[in-house]
Each structure stands twice: as structure tokens, then as C-alpha cells.
Amino acid sequence: MASTTISSHTFAETPFIILQSTTSAQNSGLYDHLLPHFKKQSGIDVRVVAVGTGQALRNAQNCDGDLLLVHSKPDEENFVQAGYGATRRNVMYNDFVVVGPHDDPASIRQADTVAEALRMIYAQQSKFATRGDNSGTHKAELRLWESAGLKPDARHDQWYLDTGLGMGATLNFAVQADSYAISDRGTWIAFANKVNHRILFESDPPLFNQYGVVTINADRCPYVKQDLAETFASWLVSPAGQKHIGAYRRNGVQLFFPNASR
């Protein structure tokens, strides 16, 4: 019987890191564009775990991963200050948008600010789908409600619909339920099931959405691949990484805008 020859190149020989990531960067298709460029240059494979920002931070705190790419700057800074993170750097930004049915039952197209748009939804008790998952988008949404002087509660407000789902699934729910929702722009542009939903409010400064990369502190997580993680984090904020981020398009639209800090 012929002998079986095993290639000297095995998966074990390919260095890899685990990236705990927000779902929005994954749903937008950014990693499919970005990671092959990094692997070609470095030989390092990046394996993405896409969850909400809150879950990503919890996973990293439990040493499940080598670095983070998320979008809730106060929580990221707290993560570093608490000793779980080694460094945090700005990578890129986009913005949040308010989407809803084309007929716009709360007439938020007429609003001058996002706070006014949310007050109009609240006053009309128009259906609104919230992620309710402690993600970066969910936390941003809660801050926007608070800035409008409002605090909807899914336990009591029947129009305020808690999906407990990621961004893509929440958008699917919003379309099916004919409700408003807040999404990061990248996921919305990449989202295929828009049906009759449209962006109804956008371009207000409070909708700014910053993404950061955070490496894990090896003193807290001794098995973290800190050198490999730092290689990827440094590449993201390098001219090459920033160029690839800025070059990514969906439907001809730029989804992320590089603004690295080192």
C-alpha cells in the first residue's frame, strides 16, 4: 500500500491570534477585505469572534482572545485602566443612523437633531427595535435616549421592542416588525434585506461612532499572544492598515474612515 505523505506545512505552523470584535465590523464585510492584506504581509492568521462590544470585553477579561476591536470608547478605556488591557488606540470611525419604514410614522425626517427624532418616536409610541444586548450600538442608543431626556423600558413600553440580538438580526426584525432602529452605517449599507426601510435621520454629531483596538495585558492573561496581537494592532494604525481601511467600499460607499492614534 502506498504511504501517505504529510505536508511539512501544517495548520499548527501557521501563527494565529483571536480577535474579539464587534459584530458591526464583521457584518460590514470589513474583515473579508482587510485580513487577507495583513496575512499576506505578516503570515499571521486572524480568527474573528464577532459578538457585541460588551460580550467581547467580557470574553477578553476572561482571557478568551488576544486583542479587541470594538466601539465603546469609555468601556475600552475602563478596560485598560482596570489592568485587563495593555494599550488602546483609535483605528477608524463611522456613524450611527436611524432607519425606519419609508412612510416614517413619527415624521422624524423633519427633526433637526437626533434627540428631537427620538422624542418624536417616543411621543408617537412608534415601534422601535433595540438590540438590548449591551453592545456598543446598544450603549450608544441608550446614551442618545438619555440625552433626549427619555428612558424607554421594554418591560413596560410595548412599542419599545428588545430583540436581544446582534445588529444584522435586529435589522431583520425591524424590517419585519415595521419599526425604527439605530444601526451603525457600515452594517446598514451592507444589509441586503432593506425592503421598504430607509435611513430617516443621520449626520448629527452625537451619532459619531469611534472604533478602537485594545491589546490584552499579559500580566492578567499569561497565555495571550501579546507580540502577535501587537503586530496586528500596530498594522491597523500604520499607513498601510489605514489605507486598506479607507479603501473599503460597499455599493460604492466608504464604510469606515481611518483616524489612527498611536
How many structural domains is the chain composed of? 2
| E runs forming strands in 52-185 | 67-70, 85-101, 128-130, 160-162, 180-184
Q: Over range 83-101, report the average pLDDT.
A: 97
Model confidence band, residue 108 (pLDDT cutoffs 50, 70, 90): very high
Q: Is 113 left (phi over 0), alpha (psi -120 to 50) or beta?
A: beta
Please tell me the distance from the alpha carbon of residue 198 to that of residue 73, in angstroms, as a whole number.
28
Cell 422601535 maps to which residue?
128
127's grid cell: 415601534
Task: Say if residue 6's pLDDT is above 70.
Answer: no
Q: Answer yes or no: are the C-beta atoms of 25 and 33 closer than 8 Å.
A: no
Q: Over range 103-121, report the average pLDDT.
A: 98
| Same domain, yes or no: 203 and 244 | no
Model confidence band, residue 13 (pLDDT cutoffs 50, 70, 90): confident
End-to-end CA distance of the chain: 58
Please tell me the distance from the alpha carbon of residue 176 to that of residue 13, in angstroms, as a whole number.
46
Task: Say if residue 4's pLDDT is above 50.
Answer: no
Q: Over range 172-200, report the average pLDDT.
A: 95
Exposed, middle or buried by CB within 10 Å (0-12, 13-18, 19+), for 230? middle
pLDDT tens for each residue of 125-184: 999 999 999 899 999 999 999 999 999 999 999 999 999 998 899 999 999 999 999 999
| Same domain, yes or no: 117 and 241 | no
Q: Per the domain annotation, does 110 fall within a domain?
A: yes
Q: Per the domain annotation, does 4 fall within a domain?
A: no
Task: Say if residue 30's pLDDT is above 60.
Answer: yes
Q: Per the domain annotation, does 245 fall within a domain?
A: yes
| Same domain, yes or no: 106 and 131 | yes
| Same domain, yes or no: 104 and 201 | yes
Q: What is the CATH number for 131?
A: 3.40.190.10
Q: Per the domain annotation, does 8 fall within a domain?
A: no
Model confidence band, residue 3 (pLDDT cutoffs 50, 70, 90): very low
Cell 485587563 maps to which residue?
84
Q: Residue 179 belongs to what domain range?
A: 95-207
Predicted confidence at residue 12, as pLDDT, reads: 53
Q: Per the domain annotation, does 162 fall within a domain?
A: yes
Residue that is last in its domain, among 207, 225, 245? 207
Strand pairing class (180-184; 257-258) = unpaired
74: helix, strand or coil: helix
Predicted confidence at residue 8, as pLDDT, reads: 41
Q: Per the domain annotation, does 123 fall within a domain?
A: yes
Q: Residue 189, Cα to own-chain centre: how many angstroms?
A: 14
The rounded percent of the chain whose pLDDT value lies above 90 is 88
| Same domain, yes or no: 201 and 234 | no
Please tell me the distance from the alpha carbon of residue 134 to that of residue 132, in angstroms, as a whole number.
6
Q: Residue 220, Cα to own-chain centre: how many angstroms?
A: 25
| Same domain, yes or no: 113 and 186 | yes
| Same domain, yes or no: 23 and 99 | no
| Same domain, yes or no: 109 and 164 | yes
Q: Per the domain annotation, does 225 fall within a domain?
A: yes
| Same domain, yes or no: 199 and 214 | no
Q: What's the pTM value of the predicted model, to 2 decimals?
A: 0.89
What average pLDDT does the chain have? 93
| Same domain, yes or no: 200 and 121 | yes
| Same domain, yes or no: 89 and 215 | yes
Please tell me the distance from the alpha carbon of residue 21 to that of residue 123, in angstroms, as a whole number.
35
| Same domain, yes or no: 109 and 203 | yes
Model confidence band, residue 42 (pLDDT cutoffs 50, 70, 90): very high
Q: Per the domain annotation, does 219 fall within a domain?
A: yes
